[in-house]
Amino acid sequence: MDLWLIFLTGLTVGGITCMAVQGGLLASTIAAREEEDIRAGVNHKHNIWPTLAFLTTKFIAYVTLGFILGAFGSALALSDNARIVMQIAAALYMIVVALNLLNVHPIFRYAIIQPPRFLTKLVRNQSKSKDLFAPAFLGAMTIFIPCGTTLAMEALAISSGSPFLGAAILGVFVLGTSPLFFGLGFLTTLLGDTFRTKFLKLAAVFVLYLGITSLNGALVLAGSPVNLQSLADNIPIQVDFSGGESEQQTGLGLVNGVQQIDVQVLPNGYRPGFVKVKAGVPVKLNLTTGDVLGCASQFRIPALGVSKNLAPNTTETVEFTPAQKGKIVGTCSMGMFYLIMEAV
C-alpha cells in the first residue's frame, strides 16, 4: 500500500473535488463569523484558529472512520441515499448562510451555528468558543458528505482489512487535502481583514454558488426531474452544467445486437459526455479509468439504480436496455459530472 501515492492524490485531485462541498462549509462558517464581528465592532487579525479547528476535527474524524472501516468493512458505509440527504443538508446550509451575508432577510441569522450555552460557560473567552465551535463541528461532519475521491479512499480502507491501515489511508489522504483547505481558510480571513464588508458580499456569492451547485448535484443523484441541466434543456440556447467533457458520440456500432459505448473516465468528467443510443436495443457501456481517481470514478445512473465504484486502470461494464425514448443520465457520486445518453 503506497501511502505516498495516497497523499499525492489528496494533494491534487482529492483537494479539488472535495472543495466543492466541504470547502463551501469552511468558507461559509468563517464568512458568517466575520459578518458577526463587523456588527460587534470586533477585529480578529488574521485568525487562523477556525481553519485549524476545522482541519483538526476533520482529520480526527477520518482517522476514526478509517479505523472502523478497516475493522468492520462495508457494513458501516453510508448508502447513496444517506449521502444524498447529507449533501442536500450541507447545500441548504451554505445557501442560507449566503443569504444571511447578503442581508436578504433577518430570519436567516438563526441558521448560523452557535455553541450550546453550557459549552460557552466552560470557556472563559466566549468569543473564542464561538469562533471555534462551528468550524470544529462542521469539520467532523464532513465524513457524512464525502467527495468522490474520498469514497474511493474509503473503499480502499475497507479492502485493506486492517483497522490501522484503514486509519492510515484516510488520515494520509486528508493530510494531503489540507493545504488547499488551509489556503482557502487563510485567504478568507486575510481578505476579510483587508476588505471587510466588500469581501463578505464576494464570499456570499461564492458560498451561494457552491451551495446551488451542491444542491443541484444532489438532485441529479436523487433522480429528480428538476435540476439545472433539465431546466437548461428547455432553453433554446444550449447550456451545459455538467462540468465534464462536451464531446459527442453518435453512430455506435452493434456487436451481436448490442450497442457498444466506450467512455473514458477522466478526473474532470467523462469523454464523450453525450451519446445517442437506440431505444429498445441493449446497450453495453464500457467505462475505462486511468491512473488518477476522482469524483467521476464513482459512477451512478440514478434512474437505473446503477452504482459502480471504479478502480484505477480498469474497464468496468454496465449493461441495460433503454425502454423508451428520452435521456438517461450517468453521473459521479456528487452529481458534478454527467454522461448523458439520449435514446432515440
Residues 192 and 303 in one domain: no
What's the whole-number mean pLDDT along residues 147-166?
A: 79
Residues 193 and 261 in one domain: no
The pLDDT score that the predictor gives to residue 122 is: 46
Residues 23 and 114 in one domain: yes
Residues 102 and 198 in one domain: yes
- 3 state DSSP class of 310: coil
What is the chain's mean pLDDT, rounded? 77
The pLDDT score that the predictor gives to residue 337 is: 85
- Cell 479509468: give the residue: 289
Residues 62 and 196 in one domain: yes
Burial (CB < 10 A; 0-12, 13-18, 19+), residue 93, is buried
Task: State pLDDT tens for residues 177-189.
Answer: 999 888 877 776 6
Q: Which of 222, 257, 282 is the last residue of a domain?
A: 222
In this model, does residue 173 exceed pLDDT 90?
Answer: yes
The pLDDT score that the predictor gives to residue 286 is: 93
Residues 164 and 285 in one domain: no
Q: What percent of the chain is predicted at pLDDT more than 90?
A: 15
Confidence of residue 119 (pLDDT cuts 50, 70, 90): very low
The pLDDT score that the predictor gives to residue 284 is: 92
Q: Which residues contact 2 (CB under 8 A, 6 or more apart)?
A: none
The pLDDT score that the predictor gives to residue 112 is: 63
Task: State pLDDT tens for residues 265-288.
Answer: 987 789 988 999 999 999 999 999
Q: What percent of the chain is predicted at pLDDT more than 70?
A: 75
Q: What is the CATH number of the domain that holds 307?
A: 2.60.40.420
The pLDDT score that the predictor gives to residue 123 is: 42
Task: State pLDDT tens for residues 203-256.
Answer: 678 778 878 888 888 888 887 877 777 776 666 555 555 555 555 555 466 788
Predicted structure pTM score: 0.63
Helices (H) and strands (E) in the chain, counts: 11, 11
For CA atoms 52, 56, 59, 62, the dihedral sign is negative
Domain assignment present for residue 274? The answer is: yes
Domain assignment present for residue 197? The answer is: yes
Estimate to the nearest angstrom the gap between the alpha carbon of 35 and the chain centroid.
Answer: 26
Helix (H), strand (E), coil (C) string for 3-19: HHHHHHHHHHHHHHHHH
Domain assignment present for residue 60? The answer is: yes
Nearest to 343 by CA among 320, 329, 324: 324
What's the whole-number mean pLDDT along residues 111-134?
A: 56
Task: State pLDDT tens for residues 69-116.
Answer: 888 865 666 677 777 887 888 788 878 878 877 878 878 777 665 555
Residues 315 and 195 in one domain: no
The pLDDT score that the predictor gives to residue 23 is: 78
Q: Which of 222, 257, 278 is the last residue of a domain?
A: 222
In this model, does residue 19 exceed pLDDT 50?
Answer: yes
Domain assignment present for residue 165? The answer is: yes
**CB 17 within 8 Å of CB 336:** yes
Domain assignment present for residue 168? The answer is: yes
Residues 177 and 251 in one domain: no
Confidence of residue 141 (pLDDT cuts 50, 70, 90): confident
The pLDDT score that the predictor gives to residue 168 is: 92
Q: Which of 174, 189, 222 is the last residue of a domain?
A: 222
Q: How many domains does the chain fold into? A: 2
The pLDDT score that the predictor gives to residue 242 is: 52
Q: Which domain does 14 fall in, by range?
A: 3-222
- Cell 436495443: give the residue: 281
- The cell numbers describing 185, all together, are 481558510
Residues 198 and 257 in one domain: no
Residues 126 and 167 in one domain: yes
Residues 32 and 149 in one domain: yes
- The cell numbers describing 113, all together, are 451555528
The pLDDT score that the predictor gives to residue 318 is: 92
Residues 46 and 169 in one domain: yes
In this model, does residue 167 exceed pLDDT 60?
Answer: yes
Domain assignment present for residue 235? The answer is: no
Domain assignment present for residue 28? The answer is: yes
**CB 160 within 8 Å of CB 79:** no
Higher pLDDT, 107 or 53: 53
